[in-house]
Amino acid sequence: MPIKPEKTTMLWFNGIWCWITWVANLSHARAKESSLPLPNQGKKDTSRSFTELVAELEAIIETGDREKAGQQLRALHKQYVVPMIELLPKEIWGTDTDQLVLKTHSVLNIEEAVLNTQVTSRQLTEEEIKYLELLVTHWCGWSPTSADHRDDSWVWYLRYTYPSLIGLYFILDMLI
C-alpha cells in the first residue's frame, strides 16, 4: 500500500525533528565535556563569534601558515564544538591552499561507509576503499551515513518520491 503524501511529509518533518533533537543533545554533551578543566586550559574565550573565528581562520589559511591555522582551528573547536570543521591539507586534492571542511556528521568513520556498501551486497576492493576515503575528505561535506540513520524517515521519503531508484541505499550523505 503506497504512503499518502500527507504521511510522507509528516515522516519527513518527524525525521528532521529527530535529527535536530539528536544534534542538540550531542552538542550539549560535547559542551559539557569541553567545559571540564584540562591542565593548562584557561577559561574559554567567548568574546568572538563563530563567524569572526572562521573568517580569521580563512585569512590564516590564505597565508599558507599551516601551524597557525591549526592553532586557530583548535581555538575554534574549544569555543564551538558543533559544527565539525576540519582543515584539509592542499596536497590531498591539489588545491592552491588548504581547505576548511564543514562535516555534517559528528564522527567520520570510513568503516561505516564500507558497511553501508555491504548492505547492498557489494564488496569493495582496497582501491575502491581508498577512493571512498578520498571522497569523504572533500570539502563538499560528504560523510558516511550512520547505520542508525539508514532507515530514517528522510530515507523513506526519498525512496517514496523517487520510486524509479529501486533499492536506494545511502552510503554517504550530506544532509544537515
- pLDDT tens-place string over residues 59-94: 998 898 989 988 888 888 888 776 677 787 888 888
Q: Under DSSP, is residue 15 helix (H, G, I), strand (E, B) or coil? A: helix
pTM of the model: 0.48
How far apart (Å, rounded) are the C-alpha atoms in residues 148 and 74?
29
Residue 3, all three cell numbers: 504512503
Single out the residue of 36, 31, 78, 22 nearest to residue 53, CA to CA.
78
117 vs 47, which has greater pLDDT?
117
For residue 38, is it within any domain? no
Q: Does 121 lie in the same domain as 60?
A: no
For residue 141, is it within any domain? yes
Q: Does 129 lie in the same domain as 175?
A: yes
Q: For strands 99-103 and 172-173, give the pairing.
A: unpaired
Based on the structure, what is the number of domains in the chain?
2
How far apart (Å, rounded) are the C-alpha atoms in residues 128 and 167?
21
- pLDDT tens-place string over residues 1-28: 555 555 555 555 566 655 666 666 665 5
Q: Does 122 lie in the same domain as 142?
A: yes
Domain limits at 134?
107-176
How far apart (Å, rounded) are the C-alpha atoms in residues 61 and 67?
10
Q: Using an 8 Å Cβ cutoff, are 45 and 79 in contact? A: yes
Whether residue 118 has pLDDT greater than 60: yes
Residue that terminates a domain, selected from 103, 121, 149:
103
Q: Does 123 lie in the same domain as 82?
A: no
Q: Does 173 lie in the same domain as 146?
A: yes
Calculate the CA 157 to chain-centre distance. 21
Residue that terminates a domain, selected from 88, 103, 118:
103
Question: What's phi and psi for 86, nearest 5 deg?
Answer: -125, 155
For residue 171, is it within any domain? yes
Q: Distance of CA 12 to CAs 23, 24, 157, Å?
A: 17, 18, 6
Q: Would you state the pLDDT for residue 127? A: 93
Q: Under DSSP, is residue 132 helix (H, G, I), strand (E, B) or coil? A: helix
Residue that terminates a domain, selected from 58, 73, 103:
103
For residue 65, is it within any domain? yes
The C-alpha angle 164, 10, 172, rounded to 5 degrees, equals: 50
